[in-house]
């Protein structure tokens, strides 16, 4: 029954929107959503066959830094760094970040950026699997696990289904041998 109502609504909507030009369609749909009390933004994007309208397709990219970080609700500095990197990926199409980029996002969100302990926090984030290793000194790249983790936030129950990163928690470096392992 509800499916039939949705199909009828779409057909009526199409008949009203068809004579309008693409920018006018966008304005009409946005106005209708606003009148209905929806905060979803309508954006226009170009596909291979022309201009189309996507309602709510990338709602998070319409948010500012503060709204995005508040919506993800990071509880630790490690999570905060990952959320800031994900914000840059979604908003600015960035594939990597620098310390200055992350600092800009975090301070724009009106949060404290701990510059003195940044290296420690970043290393802890890499150990948890949020960022990839070996990307260079000034390049910070969010890992696939980090993306999935941030996407699941703020739902802490959904984080359980994300699991743990492969290799997270492993220490890198040489094994230490004690006296028993030495030859005389």
Q: Give the residue-averaged pLDDT of 178-184.
A: 58
What average pLDDT does range 49-72 have in this prediction? 61
> Is 35 inside any structural domain?
yes
What percentage of the chain reaches a pLDDT higher than 70?
Answer: 71
- 28 lies in the same domain as 81: no
Question: Number of structural domains, the chain?
Answer: 2
Host domain of residue 36: 2-57
Verify that 127 and 140 share a domain, yes or no. yes
One domain, residues 52 and 68: no
Residue 146 counted as domain residue:
yes
CATH number at residue 123: 1.10.10
Cβ count within 10 A of residue 52: 13
pLDDT classification of 58: cutoffs 50, 70, 90: very low
CA distance 41 to 13: 18
CA distance 41 to 79: 27
Give the residue-averaged pLDDT of 57-84.
83
Is the domain of 49 the same as that of 81? no
Q: What is the dihedral of CA 91, 92, 93, 97, to 10 degrees?
A: -110
Q: Are residues 132 and 81 in the same domain?
A: yes
Q: Does residue 103 form part of some domain?
A: yes
pLDDT of residue 111: 95
Q: Is 53 left (phi over 0), alpha (psi -120 to 50) or beta?
A: beta
pLDDT at 175 over 70: no
Same domain, 91 and 125: yes
Average pLDDT over residues 118-137: 90
Does position 182 have pLDDT exceeding 50, yes or no? yes
Comparing 34-38, 97-101, 120-124, 160-164, the range with the smallest average pLDDT is 34-38
Query: pLDDT band at residue 50, thresholds of 50, 70 and 90?
Result: very low
Pair (42, 128) in one structural domain? no
Confidence (pLDDT) at 156? 86
Q: Could you write out the DSSP letters of every residue in 121-134? A: HHHHHHHHTSB-SS
């Amino acid at each position: 029954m509800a499916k039939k109502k949705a199909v009828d609504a779409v057909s009526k909507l199409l008949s009203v929107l068809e004579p309008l030009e693409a920018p006018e369609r966008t304005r009409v749909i946005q106005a209708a959503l606003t009148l209905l009390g929806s905060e979803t933004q309508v954006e226009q994007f170009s596909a291979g066959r022309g201009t189309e309208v996507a309602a709510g397709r990338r709602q998070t990219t319409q948010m500012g830094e503060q709204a995005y970080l508040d919506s993800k609700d990071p509880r630790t500095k490690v999570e905060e760094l990952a959320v800031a990197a994900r914000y840059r990926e979604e908003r600015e199409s960035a594939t990597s970040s620098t310390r200055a980029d992350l600092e800009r996002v975090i301070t724009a969100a009106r949060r404290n950026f701990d510059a003195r302990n940044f290296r420690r926090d970043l290393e802890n984030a890499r150990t948890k699997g949020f960022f990839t290793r070996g990307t260079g000194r000034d390049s910070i790249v969010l890992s696939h696990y980090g993306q999935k983790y941030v996407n699941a936030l703020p739902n802490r129950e959904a984080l359980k289904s994300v699991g743990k990163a492969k290799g997270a928690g492993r220490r890198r470096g040489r094994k230490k041998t004690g006296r028993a392992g030495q030859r005389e």
